[in-house]
Amino acid sequence: MFQNVDNKQFKELFKKANTLVLDVRTPKEVAEGHIPQANLFLDINGAFFESELVKLDKSKNYLVYCRSGARSARACKIMEDKGFKGELYNLAMGITGWDGDVKK
């Protein structure tokens, strides 16, 4: 089961081995700025979200975020349903509540 985490926890989890950061916002939102550690970008509302999602390594840990935390929570649930075995973390307040650096 995925966990909702705050900014501080999210930042600490960057250091965890075998962890990837997944941004599930639209390409337009990503272009406005993203968390620098993000290394995967899959629009949860895009036509290919689930087909691209299943290509990811299900054994890795994923830090997932969106604008406000709702879409990323939905993404974590889909990942659970698709058999992801690593730990799943949702940035509860999304990037709008992010207090770290943003890369444009």
What residues act catalytically? 66
- Cβ(91)–Cβ(72) below 8 Å: yes
Going across the sheet that includes 40-41, the strands are: 3-5, 88-91, 61-65, 19-23, 40-41
Residues 6+ apart with CB under 8 A from 27: 41, 43
